[in-house]
Amino acid sequence: MAKIIVVCNQKGGVGKTTTAINLSTFLALEKKKILLVDLDPQGNTTSGLGIDKTNLQKTSYDLLIGKAEAVEVITLTAVENLSLVPSNTDLIGAEVELVSEIGREFKLKDALDRLSGQYDYIFIDSPPSLGLLTLNALCASSSLIIPLQCEYYALEGLGQLMTTIQMVQKSINRSLQIEGIVMTMADFRTNLTQEVIKEVKEFLPGKVYESVIPRSVKLSEAPSFGKPIWFHDKHSQGSIKYKELAIEFLKKNEPCDTKSAREQLTEKTQAQKVLGNETIVPHETSSLEQSAETSINQEIKAPSQNIVSRETDSVFRIPPEGVINSHN
């Protein structure tokens, strides 16, 4: 059954959508089946993945008001293993239309429950507010990731968000837990960044990810190209840090699946010694090492329709079926 995680913060401009897109992308590159739900009427997650939000047949609006099933709304992205429930400004009307509905807080949960078993993780990018859309996201999720800007006002917003989470836990979703807090837009040239990180770690011990996302021009400009940061500039600090965040996330959620090739090989060798067989087949060994080394660090195969990058004039090609295969 898929673990449903909402990326949530009622304060705008904290890197919420950037985190949702890039964490989902790196997990997809780790061959995890990922569904990303855009629940923000601005549709930034949709456009950030290169999908034209002005030309959508069905969106998360249709999903919430019951006009469409989840399987009808899901769109393939240009990233292998990453699917999207897109959004646009139509979603603004959902809050008005649902206000008199019975069980309006559970509309998204009911829709996503029908997808049980089809994905490893479902991420929800919620709007920067604490309205009905965010409430639906919190009710549908088992945990939440909170992107938090390394600035003073972010601490005040965190207190308000924690109050909301406690209310949801008491009345609607008792199983809701904090998955982790991602510190974003860090500028380590300032003392303020260090102080904010320290305060948050003291306020929520054990919940703050060690991977801190820095301020990055490349991260800011990647959405204008409709690409996650890995495809825009994989060597940038933003790409490196989101890769580290994905690995940290997997170590927490799937500790047995994140062993290195060397660790797996050592365990296999020890098991063979116990059985009196110390022979390791060379072909199997090389295959194991290759599998581990080509996970997140692999390149993305060039697709078939040409889009010229404004920054480098290089060609980014999107395949007809909308899926990028993993190789250089």
- Is 124 within 8 Å of 158 (Cβ atoms)? no
Closest CA to 16 of 106, 199, 130, 148: 148
Query: What pLDDT does 90 receive?
Result: 93
* List of domains in the chain: 3-258 (3.40.50.300), 261-293 (no CATH)
| pTM for the predicted model, two decimal places | 0.78
Query: What pLDDT is stored for residue 295 in this prediction?
Result: 46
How far from the centroid of its chain's Cα atoms is residue 114's Cα?
Answer: 20
pLDDT of residue 120: 96
| Residuewise pLDDT in 10s, the chain (328 residues) | 899 999 999 888 899 999 999 999 999 999 999 999 999 999 999 999 999 999 999 999 999 999 999 999 999 999 999 999 999 999 999 988 998 888 899 999 999 988 878 999 999 999 998 889 999 999 999 999 999 999 888 888 888 888 889 999 998 999 999 999 999 999 988 899 999 999 999 989 999 999 999 999 999 999 999 999 999 999 999 999 999 999 999 999 987 654 544 454 445 445 444 444 443 333 444 343 344 444 444 444 444 343 334 344 433 334 444 444 444 4
Reading the block at residue 86, the tokens are 């897109």
